[in-house]
Amino acid sequence: MLKIRLQRIGKRGQAYFRVVVTERTQKPKGRFLELLGTYNPHEDKVNVKKERVSFWLSKGAQASPTVNNLLVGRKVIEGKKVQAWKAKKKAKGKEEQVAKPALEEKQKEVKEAVIEEIPVIETPVEQPVATP
């Protein structure tokens, strides 16, 4: 499947992106079929070839969520923006609530098993010898 996505170029801290058409399985910095334009996030400039973008979309290429939102925001293509990323869920509290009772039960079972397995050794108690 073909994807229209961003390919990062530029130095560290100075991001600059190409808008490219590539096979979905290609590495992000790998080969691409066609260069459709560029995106400079520092100046918020997008330069793309509208007719080539519409050509590739008509051939069945899918735009990545970020590219889709860039193109829709700049009126290059028509459509709705999509959610490009999701915030991570804070499931830490729920896991602790579920895990605590199970952990306490497991610890109780282990203690009981250990107590049952310990052999009781009775040693004779020596009486102190009284000296006159």
Q: Is 14 helix (H, G, I), strand (E, B) or coil?
A: coil
**In this structure, is residue 85 part of a structural domain?**
no
Q: How confident is the model at residue 118 (pLDDT cuts 50, 70, 90)?
A: low
Supply the pLDDT for residue 56.
Answer: 92
**In this structure, is residue 81 part of a structural domain?**
no
| Residue 107: pLDDT over 80 | no
Q: Is 119 helix (H, G, I), strand (E, B) or coil?
A: coil
Q: How confident is the model at residue 94 (pLDDT cuts 50, 70, 90)?
A: low
Q: Are 70 and 46 in contact (CB under 8 A)?
A: yes
C-alpha atoms less than 13 angstroms from C-alpha of 70 in its C-beta half-sphere: 23
**In this structure, is residue 101 part of a structural domain?**
no
Residue 121 falls in which region: left (phi positive, over 0), alpha (psi -120 to 50) or beta: beta
The arithmetic mean of pLDDT across residues 69-78, rounded, is 90
pTM of the model: 0.62
CATH number of the domain to which 35 belongs:
3.30.1320.10
**In this structure, is residue 125 part of a structural domain?**
no
The more confidently predicted of residues 15 and 84 is 15
Q: Is 121 helix (H, G, I), strand (E, B) or coil?
A: coil
The count of structural domains within the chain is 1
The more confidently predicted of residues 130 and 26 is 26
**In this structure, is residue 13 part of a structural domain?**
yes
**In this structure, is residue 83 part of a structural domain?**
no
| Residue 127: pLDDT over 80 | no
Mark 105-130 as b/e (b = at least 16 C-beta within 10 Å).
Answer: eeeeeeeeeeeeeeeeeeeeeeeeee
**In this structure, is residue 116 part of a structural domain?**
no
